[in-house]
Amino acid sequence: MYAEERQQEILRRARAAGRVDVVKLAEEFAVTTETIRRDLTVLERAGVLRRVHGGAIPVERLGFEPALATRDEVMTDEKERIAKAALAELPEDGSIIIDAGSTTRRLARALPGDRELTVIVNAPPLATMLATRANLNVIMLGGRVRGRTLATVDDWALRPLEDLNVDVAFMGTNGCSVDKGLTTPDPAESAIKRAMIGAAERTVVLADHTKFSGVYLARFAALTEIDMIITDDGLDPAIAADITAAGPEVVRA
């Protein structure tokens, strides 16, 4: 196992469990604690973890509580499959929007290295991850950074979207229902999402099946505005049929 692989796995576990323990990691990877500590230092310098006495915590779990972090420990397999399926919707050489969120982050990570793409994001961690890829042109939307979701919101993020025409927007959502459409708890994020969809020729929503049972405060799109919803095979076929009837194609990865 290479050092980098071990670090990836440490990061994965940290995000899944909310925290990792130096001694436990050392045992499980069969290396000394010094090695684990060095890995944690690397991950901390990369800005994805924060070291604490005895272990480390992913940055997104700091400050405000389990907002982004707990979302990431559930449905991991499904999210991975959804992200992989979404790759089929990438344009050949064009521009895409990737919304903030745990499923869309997996999509961002899986972007191929040999296709020229312009990627518009509103999450600083995504920008950091993608900017070093030689084949990608990364555009970050500015604005106030919400601590809870690590996404930019407000006016400065909205205005540039008015002047953009991108090929595909890959969106996350908190809730998805036939009646209420796509919803999210925060009105500011809702505004950004709406603007993203407005700037895109085509909109693909990435949502595991648990998202279809919830409705949240702010609606950012009706189903008619969506071209495709990619979900997992846990979605009730009846609901899928209702959604398809309302407009978007449903792909069950």
Partner DNA sequence: GGACGACTTGCAAGAAAATGCAAGATCACG
Partner DNA sequence: CGTGATCTTGCATTTTCTTGCAAGTCGTCC
Which letter does DSSP use for residue 178 in this model? T
Kindly tell me which residue out of 114, 162, 165, 238 binds its own copies, with binding defined by CB under 8 A: 114
Determine if 165 is a binding residue for its own copies (CB under 8 A).
no
Asked whether position 37 contacts DNA by CB under 7 A, the answer is: yes
Q: How far is the CB of 58 from DNA (least distance, A)?
A: 15
Please answer whether residues 47 and 59 qualify as being in contact, where contact means their C-beta atoms are separated by less than 8 angstroms. Answer: yes
> Toward DNA, which CB reaches closer, 45 or 165?
45
Q: Indicate left, alpha or beta for 150 from its phi (over 0: left) and psi (-120 to 50: alpha).
A: left
* Binding partner of residue 204 among DNA, its own copies, none, CB cut-off 5 to 8 Å per kind: none
Hey, how many other C-beta atoms are within 10 angstroms of the C-beta on 210?
17
| Residue 30 touching its own copies (CB under 8 A) | no
HSE (side-chain half, CA atoms, 13 Å) at 207:
28
Question: Which residues make beta-bridge pairs with 96?
Answer: 119, 168
Q: What is the helix (H) or strand (E) element at residue 49, kind and residue range?
A: strand 49-52
Identity of the residue numbered 29: F
CB within 8 Å of 246: residues ≥ 6 apart: 178, 223, 224
Residue 133 as a binder of its own copies (CB under 8 A): the answer is yes
Considering the rule CB under 7 A, would residue 35 count as an interface residue with DNA?
A: yes
Site string for DNA, 46-85 (x = CB under 7 A): -----xxxxx------------------------------
Task: Give the footprint of its own copies on this chain (CB under 8 A).
Answer: 2-5, 7-8, 11-12, 19, 41-43, 45-50, 52-55, 57-70, 72, 109-114, 124-125, 127-135, 137-147, 150, 152, 156-157, 160
